[in-house]
């Protein structure tokens, strides 16, 4: 089995290590299903005060991360890799990350995530080492660490063995591109609200049909944009027409 290795270049290594040490990613790290090498870019400063940033040429607010510490950090990581790894720069200017991109990146043996801070990184080192520019969406964060953690979380769960059987089965059922149906557990009556009767009936075919219709209805109401790309049968389309024209 492939043992995927993630490298993260960051000024906040504890944030990344601690964030991924919990939950399912933490369990998979303990089981050595994938590994995580978090590297502090500051360790590659050439300055006695451990500076890694400087004023921008041409003026302007804030500081820019210098190219040398980033390059030296990268060079050290590459030395430990079999072949030249993809280097993903976390930036609000990147392509928006998606499940499709997660699936593509999960095929790699090694991935390097570069997290920026301040007003960004000297563009020359980015041109030299970065293969992919990725964002997690159109909102402003303080740095690339949370985006790197988001991507590692979603990529790692695609590695065989990270999810248990139940979790994997749930993933399979998501592949039709629809939202999940609602779930219920005990008690049967909560704050006066009953669990839908069909779920107590024990009639598996009816339960499947009800759940599938709930998925269609939810997707229609909450994420109608997904319906354009979903796999829909003729009877699904009929059901949706019924929702639109009651």
Q: For residues 90 and 178, which CB has a smaller minimum distance to ligand 9D3 in the complex?
A: 90
Nearer to ligand 9D3 (CB atom), residue 28 or residue 89? 89
Region from 9-17, 77-85, 114-122, 176-184 binding ligand 9D3, contact rule CB under 6 A = 114-122
Query: CA neighbours within 13 Å on the CB side: how many for 157?
Result: 21
What are phi and psi for residue 157, nearest 5 degrees?
Answer: -70, -10
Write down the least CB distance from residue 40 to ligand 9D3, Å. Answer: 17
Interface positions, 126-185, toward ligand 9D3 (CB under 6 A): 135-137, 139-144, 147
State the nearest-atom distance from the C-beta of 4 to ligand 9D3, in Å: 21
With contact defined as beta carbons under 8 Å apart, do 40 and 69 qualify? Answer: no
Contacting residue, 14, 47, 119, 170, with ligand 9D3 by CB under 6 A: 119
β-bridge pairing 110-115 and 4-10 = parallel
CB 121 within 8 A of CB 11: no
Determine, following the binding rule CB under 6 A, whether residue 25 of this chain makes contact with ligand 9D3: no
Angle at 201 between CA 181 and CA 178, to 5 degrees: 15
Q: How far apart are CA 142 and CA 130, in angstroms?
A: 20
Stretch that binds ligand 9D3, among 113-121, 173-181, 192-200, 228-236 (CB under 6 A): 113-121
CA distance 114 to 102: 17
Residue count, binding to ligand 9D3 (CB under 6 A): 16
64: which 2 tokens? 């820019």
Q: Which residues bind ligand 9D3 (CB under 6 A)?
A: 90-92, 116, 119-120, 135-137, 139-144, 147
């Amino acid at each position: 089995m492939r043992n995927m290795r993630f490298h993260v270049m960051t000024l906040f290594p504890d944030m990344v290590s601690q964030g991924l040490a919990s939950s399912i990613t933490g369990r998979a790290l303990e089981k050595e299903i994938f590994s995580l090498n978090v590297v502090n870019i500051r360790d590659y400063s050439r300055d006695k005060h451990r500076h890694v940033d400087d004023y921008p040429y041409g003026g302007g607010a804030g500081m820019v991360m210098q190219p040398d510490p980033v390059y030296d950090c990268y060079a050290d990581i590459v030395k430990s890799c079999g072949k030249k790894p993809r280097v993903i720069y976390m930036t609000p200017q990147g392509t928006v990350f998606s499940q499709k991109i997660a699936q593509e990146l999960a095929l790699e043996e090694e991935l390097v995530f570069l997290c920026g801070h301040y007003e960004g990184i000297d563009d020359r080192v980015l041109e030299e080492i970065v293969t992919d520019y990725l964002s997690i969406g159109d909102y402003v964060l303080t740095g690339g660490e949370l985006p790197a953690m988001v991507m590692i979380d979603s990529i790692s769960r695609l590695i065989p063995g990270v999810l248990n059987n139940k979790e994997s089965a749930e993933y399979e059922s998501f592949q039709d591109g629809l939202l999940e149906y609602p779930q219920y557990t005990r008690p049967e009556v909560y704050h006066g609200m009953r669990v839908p009767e069909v779920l107590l009936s024990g009639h598996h075919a009816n339960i499947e049909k009800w759940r599938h219709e709930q998925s269609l209805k939810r997707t229609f109401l909450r994420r109608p944009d997904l319906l354009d790309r979903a796999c829909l049968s003729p009877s699904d389309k009929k059901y949706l027409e019924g929702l639109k024209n009651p």
